[in-house]
Structure 1
Amino acid sequence: MSHSRPRIDTEGRRARLGRRHLLAPACRAARAEDVADAVVGLHATDAATVHLAACARLAVPDPEEVERALYDDRSLVRLLCMRRTLFAVGGALAPVVASSTAGAVAAKERREMTRWVTGGAPGWDERRLAEAEAKTLAVLAARGAATAADLAAEVPELRDTIVVSPGKPYEATVAVSSRILRVLAAEGKIRRGRPRGGWTSSSFRWVPGTAFADLPAPPPAEARAGLARHWLASYGPSTVEDLKWWTGWTLTDTRRALAATDAVEVELEGGAAGVALPDDLEGVAAPGPWAALLPGLDPTAMGWKVRDWYLDPDHVPHLFDRSGNIGPTVWWNGRIVGGWAQRADGEIVWRLLSDEGGREAAALVETEAARLAEWVGAVRITPRFRTPLERELSA
């Protein structure tokens, strides 16, 4: 790459991360919406991750602040979107994400579900599927909130089952309701309500939603440009491959979206080609020493495809499961240096995989572990995706 292009070094990228992802103590936010906006969206596949990721970045960590945004004000919206992953995004960004990403995911989910139901359940065709969905939405509108079991009690079609992989060792019987409700949620027609248990619970009631078709959303190309701009402001400077991976778009759509943001080419440390917003080429001061304990699937840890600038490749086997899901991580000044876990008695334990930062780093990590233990209190956390180091530490 030509040296005439602006060069962004790794320290500059880590300084941006500490500030823009609200991880340095001086940069923490007051509201859950501000956190989601700072990282574009909070990973929501694991119910606990939303709260843990948000509270790590809140000046006053409080699960009730996250509950307010999710369930009272509904200013955080869960969407099946980037990489076919569930995210909680701010209400203002939700139409952009729906048009740029979630709409296409929902369309694919519907095609697959329709083939699955009509091809595997006796007596099912597209007409019966449409009738079952209409009944489900009517019951939910009348009740206001309902579990899948509540809905199945009033909509007999939802009780039908399909045998998956018959005759195989992994043969399973799956309820039709699970796929229908997933698609209705993917389309925004229903959404998850408050969990039946505590904030770590994945058991919840469904409530009526707003279908994407009813949202005042920008056209897909315009929405992709808007999402790319927002992502670059949070995660840039980065590579084109990072954005393509993060969104799940094609390379053509990724390049067109970046072109619409007026992104400029930069050289990243090591000579890799990158892109940045035109107003993000100057140096950024480091926010001062900081440490953070982030949960499994945290949006920062999963924010880039190329991670060598903040993660030692030798540490990957300890911190990721076999499917590529990252577990709980310990950060020091913009770099992953270890992992953490919670034991059955509630103790927060951690281990550094690097001696970077020495005693200063260890002291700040200890402070963050105490902060986490204080607000988590009696709640017990088991990540949905277990990793080798997390299993070892929690034993």
Structure 2
Amino acid sequence: MPVRVSRAELGRTTLARQHLLRRPPAAERSAVEVVGDVGGLQAQHADMPYLGLAARRDGPVVDAVQDALTARSLVKATVMRSTLHLLPAGHWPSADVTSAEGRLASWRPSARRAGLDLTELNAAVREHCARPRTVDEVEAFAAALHPGVDAAAAIPGGVSRAWWRLASAGGGLVHVPPSGFWREHGEHRVVDGAAWFGAADRPSPDEARAGAVARYLRAFGPATRADVARGVGIRGKRPLAVALDRLELRTLAGPDGADLLDLAGLDVVPGDTAAPVRLLPRWDQLLVAFDDRTRLLDADVAAHVFRRNGDVLPTVWVDGRVVGTWSPAAPGDPVVQVTALRPLTGDARDAVEAEARRVLAATGQDAAAEVTWSDDGPGSVRAPR
């Protein structure tokens, strides 16, 4: 009979694997290693992976990440759940193949309406991207290959960048620095990953999914099958089952009795383990990589964190759970704003302010910035010290 895991044990175990219970110092764990340990860092916004790493590793983070991107040991690419991430170069091939499967499935109906073969289109674009190209250049090249084809008209509801979406669906492209650099918001360029890394080998889809699932469980487990499918971005029960069959797993019972999968040999952390205050960035993967997020936050708090437009706000964590949101300091506006969604003691508020200043210092910002508070959330009255 599977060993039952409490909600507290589940939450602490996940936070431990995310380096959110103990931040390793730079001398102990490199930026590349930490990014790999935690399953990659969301990178839709230039600054977010730096804030995510600052929460998970002691020491300055800007040069560490930028140097790794320049050295090609870290890479920025569209992978898990078809979103931009930073991840170690060695993890990219399997993440890319797995992600491409889902994107190809999504865009094939539109491609058929346009009379396009997505695999052939992607192969041509990757060859074109043997040197770095802007998205405009990729779109112009793809459109020139198929004169008279209106890609946007073939997509129900219409989208921006129709040719780019179809041409890049098959994956294989990575961002070129300075894309991925701290506060770099300029037009990005992409290049064929095989040219960038000097290797053309890509794993089979089955191998890729197994590798991606193993890394997911190591970073986020124990987890249900639905969690794994969502976090990795795998469609269909059979592809997930094939991936799981390749791994050495154990099964645990969750707080509600549901089966939880984990890699054999990994530990469950006691539920009473201390969980220090942490500040996580917008869209942090920890909050989007689960089908069931109750190990991390309550439903009324989630309603304030997950916005109707799909946005996921930066979060404040106290005692292992989300208790508020925050707005990081911006250039020219060094104020950090915190909104409490749960009652917080004076000591907890002091710890949040100290953590905010530590994150600012780790990202090379003014650690003396003002921290302001708003108490607008459910039950967020100021608690006694």
Same fold (TM over 0.5): yes
Structure 1 residue 333 corresponds to structure 2 residue 319: yes
| 5+ residue gaps, structure 2 | 367-375, 378-385
Name the residue aligned to 2:72: 74
Q: SS state of the match for residue 76, structure 2?
A: strand
Partner letter of residue 294 of structure 1?
L
Correspondence for 1:223: 208
Of 2, 5, 8, the match for 1:8: 5
Q: For the Cα contact (< 8 Å) 1:190–1:206, is it kept in 2?
A: yes
Q: Match of 2:101?
A: 104
Q: Following TM superposition, by how much is the alpha carbon of 1:154 offset from its aligned partner in structure 2, in angstroms?
A: 9.1
1:84: which partner in 2? 82
1:199 to 2:183 alignment? yes
Please give the per-residue CA displacement for 1:245-282, whole angstroms capped at 9, x wherever unaligned: 21232223223322332322211223333222232355
Q: 1:279 aligns with which of 265, 269, 273?
A: 265
Q: 1:229 to 1:155 in 2, by over 3 A?
A: closer
Aligned to 2:194: 210
Write the mapping of 1:157-172 to structure 2, written as runs, cut at 5 A. 157=144, 162=150, 164=152
Instruction: Sort the Cα spacing of 1:84 and 1:207 in 2 relative to 1 into closer, same or farther, 3 A.
Output: closer
Structure 2 residue corresponding to 1:188, chosen from 172, 175, 191: 172
In structure 2, how many angstroms separate the alpha carbons of the residues matched to 1:176 and 1:153? 11
Cα distance 1:12–1:190, how it changes in 2: closer, same or farther (>3 A)? closer
TM-score by length of 2: 0.77
Using the alignment, how far apart are the partners of 1:238 and 1:132 within structure 2? 35
Amino acid at match of 1:24: L
1:22 aligns with 2:22: no
Partner of residue 91, structure 2: 93
Shift in Å at residue 209 of structure 1?
A: 2.9
Q: 1:241 aligns with which of 223, 226, 229?
A: 226
Alignment of structure 1 residues 114-153 onto 2, 5 Å: 114-115=111-112, 118=114, 133=124, 137-138=127-128, 141=130, 144-149=131-136
SS at match of 2:348: helix
State the match for 1:365 in structure 2.
352
Give the conservation status (yes or no) of the 8 Å contact 1:267–1:273. Answer: yes
Aligned with 1:347 (options 316, 335, 353): 335
**Equivalent pair of 1:33/1:75 in contact (CA under 8 Å):** yes
Are residues 315 and 200 of structure 1, via their aligned partners in 2, closer, same or farther at CA, if it must alter by over 3 Å?
farther
Structure 2 CA distance for aligned equivalents of residues 182 and 162 of structure 1: 17
Gaps of 5+ in 1: 120-124, 379-387, 390-395
Distance 1:14 1:171, change over 3 A: closer
How far residue 164 of structure 1 moved from its aligned partner, in angstroms, is 4.5
- Displacement of 1:321: 1.4
**1:340, 1:349 within 8 Å by CA — same for their partners in 2?**
yes
**Distance in 2 (alpha carbons) for counterparts of 1:199 and 1:352:** 27
Residues 296 and 158 (structure 1), Cα distance of their counterparts in 2 relative to 1, 3 Å cut: farther
Contact (CA 8 Å) 2:74, 2:87: kept in 1 or not? Answer: yes
Q: Is the 8 A contact 2:81 2:232 kept in 1?
A: yes
Instruction: Give the partner amino acid of 2:90.
Output: A
Deviation at 1:133, TM superposition (A): 4.4
Letter in 1 for 2:203: P
Checking the alignment, whether the CA contact within 8 Å between 2:328 and 2:337 is kept in structure 1 is yes
TM-score (norm 1): 0.75
Q: Separation in 2 of the partners of 1:132 and 1:37?
A: 28
1-side partners of 2:7 and 2:141: how far apart? Answer: 57
- The separation in 2 between residues aligned to 1:132 and 1:222, in whole angstroms, is 21
